[in-house]
Structure 1
Amino acid sequence: MSTRTQRLRDYLTHARFEVLPLRGVVEQARYLPASTTVTVTSSPTKGVDATLDTAARLRDEGFHAVPHLAARMITDRAHLSELVDRCARWGLSEVFVVAGDAQSPAGEFPDSLSLLRAMDELGIRPSRVGITGYPETHAFISDAATIQATDEKSRYADYIVSQICYDPDTIASWVKALRARGVTLPVHIGAPGAVDPTKLLRISMKIGLGDSMRFLRKQHGVVTKLLSRYTPENLFDELSPYIVDDAYGIVGWHLFTFNEITKTQQCLQDMAARMQEVPA
């Protein structure tokens, strides 16, 4: 097996899995290999405690658990310090900072950048911190503001996970633009796992993937028909040349499972098994 093929297989076998803190998720996660990185989302409906509690249970199961800290759900610096302290006590050495889905901030943190700055000023930064990047137009933020925010957030982070994007060329161009601006953080490519197509369509529309949806229509005619054909393998194959090109600094996959954990892991196993020797 060539070094290139082995590298691509390694990305499959070491993918990160994102889950929702819902009932039964820890039991489902037991299907994953030991020490898999599992990130836990944070939402206004479940609250930050559900996120941390689920992450702690996953950590106890032997996974590298990463709770999301949603800025708009944290009231003030005292609350932030308490959450970070709880993470440390529970052996959660890494966090993923997001703005969050709350319509209005609960306190002094309207966005992820303000939370990152506060952690830095308070001297309570965990060992590793991840942030989100947007390969295409954000639903609510201008391109210029998104670029500026990403560049500023990168000063406080260790890696970036890209938001869902179905167009491999857009993803590659975005990473290339990051590097041109001097952002050198490793990038994990965010992609849906083996998710029910109806759910995937609903989520894609909710998060405002305008450019991606237009790309899908152009490529396949009808969005719902295309999404019914979506598998991580399609995107993986298209991005393979960039993944193995060190200039892009792509270090792996981040699968948004929406708790379709078993199906997503089985999909990755099948992909690895089918992977053929590719000429270097």
Structure 2
Amino acid sequence: MTLLQDHSLEMTGKDVPELEEAVPLIPAGTRVNVTFLSSEDLPTRLTAAAAVKASGLVPVPHIAARRLTSEGDLRRFLEALRDAGVSEHIFVIGGDPAEPMGPYTSALDVIRSGLLPGYGVRHVSVAGYPEGHPDISDGDLWSALRDKTAALAQQGLGGSIITQFGFDDDPIVSWIERVRGLGIDLPIRIGVPGPAGIKRLLGFARRFGIASSAGIVKKYGLSLTNLVGTAGPDRLIGALERRIDPARHGDVLLHFYTFGGVAATARWIRQFDTVGAPGAR
């Protein structure tokens, strides 16, 4: 098997020039998530999503529930996505404000609003956290995942789960097994960091509560005493490919967080897909 088949990528609104540079390296039809950053406005997000579509790729705009100021705000965003022809696939996440800016406290609230199908949404990705969330209890995370899965089914919406990135295959595989044990059969896209500077990778890990002890980063191929250079997820992907069994774990793919840039990530994937990781297959 290869987890790289039908992988997905992530970009921000400002990454359009990099996307255009990377297009020759990205398979047609690849899903590209467009983040919902507080520093970027609606036109920037729409321009990025439209650029993804124009490149022969599938745009997946993000909606951050806690950043929406009202139902009208959500409707305006969905209407703009629909009018731009980029509303079919979306990713809904709670978002990072400590206090919601409007009536939506979680991704579940947005899904349960019932508004999504009316604006052309057909597939909704939701978040998964193999290593937990620094501000949400494990019990609440599992309850939310079950509830989001049920709410999508009730509205006839397709769905998938995109996980936070990590450095260690052990919690990822254990989490997938628990998801399947709960009867949740949505496709899972495992978040992995694209190639990036070591300091940058560890900075994102601290920010998002990702375990990065000396033992874990050594397993990934990093060293806490040598922060010079760039690292890619070779070892992690190789370990996952050895351990994940479609018959047992269902539909599992990769989602690349492009911390080192969209073009650099696309080049790395192309090379890795050609050469592979030792013992991965």
TM-score by length of 2: 0.85
Superposition misfits of 4+ residues, deviation over 4 angstroms? 120-125, 217-222, 226-229, 276-280
| Inter-CA distance 131–227: structure 2 relative to 1 (3 Å threshold) | farther
**Aligned to 2:196, what secondary structure does the other structure show?**
coil
Q: Output the amino acid matched with 1:59.
A: K
Q: Per-residue CA shift, 1:142-187, capped at 9, x if unaligned?
A: 1111111111112226100111121101100001001111211110
Please name the residue that 1:18 is paired with. Answer: 10
Distance of 1:18 and 1:60 partners within structure 2: 16
**1:163 equivalenced with 2:167 (yes/no):** no
Please name the residue that 1:206 is paired with: 207
- Deviations along 1:210-236, one digit per CA (max 9) or x if unpaired, are x34465257479436489574222111
Instruction: Indicate yes or no: 2:264 matched with 1:269.
Output: no
Instruction: Give yes or no for contact 2:234–2:277 (8 Å, CA) kept in 1.
Output: no
Q: 2:93 aligns with which of 91, 94, 98?
A: 98
Q: Percent identity?
A: 28
Going from structure 1 to structure 2, the CA distance change for 1:72 and 1:215 (only over 3 Å counts) comes to farther
For 1:180 and 1:226, locate their aligned partners in 2 and report how far apart those are by CA, in whole Å: 39
Q: Is the partner of 1:67 in helix, strand or coil?
A: strand
Residue 29 of structure 2 is aligned to residue 35 of structure 1: yes
Where structure 2 has 5 or more consecutive residues not aligned to the other structure, the ranges are: 153-157
Counterpart in 2 of 1:63?
A: 57
Give RMSD over aligned pairs.
2.7
| Contact 2:60-2:91 within 8 A present in 1 as well | yes
Identify the range of structure 1 (60-69 vs 213-222) with the bigger mean alpha-carbon deviation: 213-222
Match of 2:155 in 1: none
- CA separation of 1:236 and 1:51: change in aligned 2, threshold 3 A: same
Does the Cα contact within 8 Å between 1:191 and 1:255 map onto a contact in 2? yes
What is the Cα deviation at residue 25 of structure 1?
3.8
CA gap 1:213/1:21 in 2 versus in 1, 3 angstroms: farther
**Structure 1 CA distance, aligned partners of 2:11 and 2:83?**
22
Contact 1:200 1:227 in 2 (8 A): no
Question: What is the correspondence of 1:224-263 to structure 2 with a 5 Å cutoff?
Answer: 225=226, 230-258=231-259, 260-263=261-264
Alignment CA distance shift 1:121-1:191 (3 Å): closer
Contact 2:198 2:222 in 1 (8 A): no
Structure 2 counterpart of 1:147, one-letter code: W
- Within a 5 Å distance, the mapping from 1:113-124 to structure 2 comes to 113-119=108-114, 123-124=118-119
State the secondary structure of the residue aligned to 2:184.
Answer: coil
Shift of 1:102: 3.0
Partner of 2:41: 47
Cα distance in 1, alignment partners of residues 278 and 216 from structure 2: 29
Structure 1: tracts of 5 or more residues without a match: 1-6
Moved more, 152-161 or 181-190: 152-161
Alignment partner, residue 4 of structure 1: none
Q: Which has the higher contact order (CA 8 A, sep 6+)?
A: 1
Quote the Cα distance in structure 2 between the aligned partners of 1:146 and 1:226. 33
